[in-house]
Chain A
Amino acid sequence: MLTKVNLIEMGRAQIGEFEELVLLTVGVLYDDAYAVAIAKELEGQSGRVIAVSAVHKSLYRLEEKGMLDSRLSDPESKRGGKRKRLFNITPYGKKVLDESQSLRAKLRNQIPDLAFKFN
């Protein structure tokens, strides 16, 4: 069975594009990263319309994969007296982000200049 550790060692942490965005946004929002805020932040930054259900789905998956940690906040009146789940990035989450970024950068740097000559 594949465990978290195995995945890291294999260097093949599975993470989708949207999940990566959510993971990054959690980092950006730092202490107030919960679904609604993330969705709004993403909407603001990317200009895409983001459904909160999609954010939920990614958050829970990332938590399952161990890239996020979470805790419950205090109840808030704007939420009908309900608590919210606040997420923060785990070290493993950071590692995945770094790897992903360095992989992209590595690949980006290997593109010969010729490939970008478009005329």
Chain B
Amino acid sequence: MARPHNIPKIPYAFFKLYCKKDRFEEMHGDLEEYFYERVETIGMVKAKWFYTRDVLRCCQPYAWKTPHFNQNSNFVMFKNYFKTATRSALRNPLGTFINLFGLSLAIGVCVMIYAFYNQSINTDRFHENKDNVFLATIYTNRDGQMSHYGMSPMPLASHIEEEMAGIKSVCRVDYQNTIIRLNDQVFYEDIHLVDASFLEMFSFPLKWGNKASLSDVNSIILSDDIATKYFGTENALGKEVLIVFKSGEKKYYKVGGVAEAFPDGASIKFDFLINYDNIDLARKNYDPNDWSVFLNSTFIQLEDPSNVYGVQAGLSKYKELQNEVKEDWKISDFELISIHDLYLSSEGMSRVISYDRHKPGRVVLPIIGIFMLVLACLNYINMAINSVAKRLKEIGVRKVMGADKRKVMFQFLAENIIVTSFALISGLFLGIYAFIPWFEGISGDAYTINITDQLFYIFLIGLMILTGVASGLYPAFYISRFEAVKIFKGKVRLGNKGWLTKSFLGLQMILAIITITGAVLFIKNTEYQIEREWGYDQADVLYVRANSPEMYEQLMAEFDQIPGIESLSGSLDHIGRVSRSTVVERLEEKYEVSQVRVSPEYLESMGLDLKSGQFLTPELQVAAKELVVNETFVERLKMTDPLGVSIKLDGENYQIVGVVKDFHFSSFNREINPTVFSPAAKVDLRFIVAELALGQEVEVYTAVENKWDELYPEIPFDGGLQASILDSYFALITNFARFNKAVAGMAVILAMLGLYGLITLNISGRMKEFSIRKTLGAQAGHLGFLLTKEYRWLTLISVLLGAPMGFYAAKFQMNLVFAYPIPMGVEFLIIPVVILILLILLVLASQLFKVLRFSPVKGLRSE
């Protein structure tokens, strides 16, 4: 039916699309009659318009093409597919279980990865103004390398606000650790000093109170967690909180608001918010116009986000102001980064308000997900191909009845989609109720899947189609090719596809061995990290931090009385806690180093290992201008004979008197920095470092804590055993190992299930052969030999390929996470191989046992 002249094209096509064939002529005749009549009376344009309207109006059920479900042959066919699928699934319960279990496991892992990825990518993107609020970041040249920092010069904000156009508002953010006192409780807490615009820029709705209270210099806003910690469920509004700033200043604040709990994907957060104008209390010698001082963060909200490059270019005029006064920290560039992008770009930045912890996860997890899917799909493919013998007759009959290759293919694909959709449902439950909570436990974050997240459904559907097709396409293709005649003549040869099944199984073994290597390596590495030398004697050291010189003196005197303390020394900075980042100069070259300012006895109390020279000379203190450096320092400055060399630090010349062996300042996943120990003035000392008698750590620790509480009930105890300073790091890497172990476990289970299923199928097809062999006197050893014959070469090749691959994959992952990973010896090639082979033997042995117990009479009788 060609489209009649002048009738509008699209409505006509639409009409044709929906209209029943047997009503098309009469109905469209009516529409045409109207149309031609209207062309005459009201003109072509209007007539077309009316025609369109009529077409739309006629689009009602009475005109629609009806899919006649009950008579439609496709539907009947599909019903039949479903029936045969269920029947063949039930006939091979083991295979079905393996398929379903494997696919659900893989899909569950994928769901978990989706939740993680989605949250990681969307961190901090819940803020309404995410696209027009920007963080001012700076680049400086450090040791010839461009470094990116999230901080900005103190006066920047006010200059921008006054001098630049297109700025909606500016927000300064500074945070510091303070003492919070409430009734009798004292805690160390981080407080944020922010401009009142903070709550306008960021979407942190308040549970109680109002946002305007942030403009009041005497009020404070608490986070939901903090309100619960201090006040339980009680409304905290109007309560008074005392803050003791770093500077020593104290001030009472009235709670003016409590924020709602932060969403899961929040990286920029706060515990306490007070107005920025309190900064003159918080910082000593605060000068708003001092370009040499850095503020933690400056946020800028633009009227029009597309204007960002203009504003960014405009910032460069402030470089000069800063460069004049801060010679050793010259800013070379400003960059504005929106809240939308900040989290993901924070990885290469230092001192930034948001910190991307998910990077390794975003690299490793998708790989794991793909591993799992591939393993599960391979299982499915292998099972499907190997069980084809049982379904040959069915295929033959279908073909005789007129099904062509495409129909048979479609049947098997449909079957597969059915299995996959079951797996999808159970995988979804597995993911949401098992894997996500488990992963939350390991990562310490909360991951939620939003039910209204459309992307998630697209992901699920995509996942289903992908797994369905990936696992079903080949078997469907393979199965559909058999010719009916050959099937019934019994001329079909099944064995010739063995190499493919085998290479699939081999691939599974390779994947299994890769994950096993990962797990072994991570477990060993964790042990290695925990055992690793810290570079100093952490075991018998206790440290305490005083707030003032008086307090330091008093504690020193008191601790001297405590039995079990063998020696006492002091420092301004402390290994594991605080160091100062500074710049030293030698031969006109500048180097960024960590500086630890200590009393001369400190080095010995900490048990640092002297490599050459001597420790700082006692009693001379600052006047001595001596330095002790670590090996990395010597290396970085390319010195051959460091002793006696003069180094410029803070504008003064110091002499290197000793070199200590490298030690870990903090966790082992940080690289060791070039470090200098310099003498500190006695009044500056804050940390008290006590060497304890071995075996008395706990008693002394309790005694020290009690003494502190007795002397300073208003200050929270700040100190601990040096040995527990890395506890959180060890907890972290133990979790890493746990994660890898679980992943390897799943991969191994999948691969072994696949192997088990294959061997079972294989054996059930050879029962007659085994029966004959048994009657003729074959022994267990011989049967075992026969059974393993097929898998020997396969295992060997997989192992030869897989072990090195696993080795390098694990090495890659290890270097991503650890700065000082375990040295990779040949044992990491061997241990996984042994584990895998043992597991394979276990599977084979279970089957051999079955064959041995099987009565040959049964095998020979059955036809």
Q: Chain A residues in contact with chain B, CB under 8 A?
A: 34-36, 51-54, 56-57, 60-61, 72, 76, 78-80, 82-85
Residue B58 lies at the interface, judged by CB distance under 8 Å to chain A: yes
Q: Is the CB of B29 within 8 A of A83?
A: yes
Counting chain B residues whose Cβ lies within 8 A of the other chain, the interface size class is 20 to 34
A64 to chain B, nearest CB (A): 9
**CB nearest neighbor in A for B23:** A60
Give complex CA distance A76, B25 in Å: 12
Residue on B nearest A57 in the bound complex, by CB: B62
Q: Which B residues from 17 to 56 make CB contacts under 8 A with A? A: 23, 25-34, 36-37, 54
9 new A-B contacts at CB < 8 Å, known A72-B26, A80-B36 = A34-B26, A35-B30, A52-B30, A52-B58, A56-B30, A60-B23, A61-B62, A78-B37, A85-B26
Given A51-B57, A56-B58; A82-B34 close (CB under 8 Å): no
Q: Could you jot down 9 A-B contacts, CB within 8 Å?
A: A52-B57, A52-B58, A56-B62, A56-B63, A61-B62, A76-B29, A80-B4, A83-B26, A84-B30
Determine if B60 is an interface residue (Cβ-Cβ < 8 Å): yes
CB-defined contacts of A57 to chain B, threshold 8 Å? 60, 62
B54 adjacent to A83 (CB under 8 Å) = no
**Known contacts being A52-B54, A53-B57, A85-B26, is A36 close to B33, with CB within 8 Å?**
yes
Distance from B358 Cβ to chain A, minimum over Cβ atoms (Å): 57
Q: Do B57 and A36 have beta carbons less than 8 Å apart?
A: no
Residues of B near A34 (CB, < 8 A) are 26, 30
A82, B26: Cβ atoms closer than 8 Å: yes
Docked Cα-Cα span, A35 to B23, in Å, equals: 12
Q: How far apart are B551's CB and chain A's nearest CB, in angstroms?
A: 90
Contact partners of A84 in chain B: CB under 8 A? 26, 29-30
In the bound complex, what is the Cα–Cα distance between A60 and B267 (angstroms)?
Answer: 64
Q: Which chain B positions have C-beta within 8 A of A61?
A: 62
- Interfacial chain A residues near B30, Cβ < 8 Å: 34-36, 52, 56, 79, 84
Interfacial chain B residues near A60, Cβ < 8 Å: 23, 62
Q: Which interface residue of A34, A35, A76 has the most chain B CB atoms within 10 A?
A: A35
With A52-B54, A53-B54 already in contact, the answer to whether A80 and B60 are too (CB < 8 A) is: no
The 5 A-B pairs with the shortest beta carbon distances in the complex, nearest first, are A82-B29, A53-B57, A79-B29, A85-B26, A80-B32
Contact among A54, A56, A76, A80 for B27, CB-based, below 8 A:
A56
Question: In chain B, residues 82-132, which have Cβ atoms closer than 8 Å to a Cβ of chain A?
Answer: none
Cross-chain contact A53 with B29 (CB below 8 angstroms): no
Q: How many residue-residue contacts, CB under 8 A, span A and B? A: 57
Contact B62 A36 (CB under 8 A): no
- Given A34-B30, A36-B34, CB of A82 within 8 Å of CB of B25: yes
Contact A78 B54 (CB under 8 A): no
Q: State the B residues within 8 Å of A (CB).
A: 4, 23, 25-34, 36-37, 54, 57-58, 60, 62-63
Cβ contacts under 8 Å, B57 to chain A: 51-54
Complexed CA–CA distance, A83 and B26 (Å): 6
A34 to chain B, nearest CB (A): 7
Also in contact, A53 and B58, with CB within 8 A (given A36-B33, A36-B34, A78-B36): yes
Bound-state Cα–Cα, A91 to B36, Å: 36
Among A35, A36, A53, A83, the residue within 8 A (CB) of B25 is A83
Partner of B31, one of A52, A72, A83, A85: A52
Among A34, A53, A84, max chain B CB count under 10 A is at: A53
| B37 and chain A: residue at smallest CB distance | A78
Which residues in A have their C-beta under 8 angstroms from that of B32? 79-80, 82
Which residues of B have CB within 8 Å of A80? 4, 28-29, 32, 36
- CA A56 to CA B59, docked complex, whole Å: 11
| Bound: A37/B31 CA distance, A | 12
A36 to B38, CA, bound (A): 13
Neighbouring A residues of B25 by C-beta, 8 Å = 82-83
| Bound-state Cα–Cα, A103 to B4, Å | 48
B27 to A, closest residue via Cβ: A56
A57 CB to nearest chain B CB (Å)? 5
CB distance from B2 to the nearest CB of A (A): 10
| B58 contact set on A, CB distance < 8 A | 52-53, 56
Contact B33 A79 (CB under 8 A): yes
Distance (Å) between the CB of A79 and the closest chain B CB? Answer: 4
Inter-chain contact A78/B33, CB cutoff 8 Å: yes
Question: How many angstroms from the CA of A60 to the CA of B22 in the assembled complex?
Answer: 12
Q: Which residues of A contact B54 (CB under 8 A)?
A: 51-53
Tell me how far the C-beta of A109 lies from the nearest C-beta in chain B, rounded to whole angstroms: 37
Q: Measured between alpha carbons, how far is A83 from B33 in the docked complex, in Å? A: 11
Q: Is A82 in contact with B28, judged by CB distance below 8 angstroms?
A: yes
* Chain B residues, Cβ within 8 Å of A36: 30, 33-34
Q: Which residue of A lies closest to B5 (CB)?
A: A80
A12 → B minimal CB distance (Å): 23
Q: How far is the CB of B362 from chain A (nearest CB, A)?
A: 55
Nearest B residue to A52, CB-CB = B30
Least Cβ–Cβ distance between A6 and chain B, in angstroms:
23
Using CB atoms, name the residue of chain A closest to B25: A82
Cβ contacts under 8 Å, A76 to chain B: 29
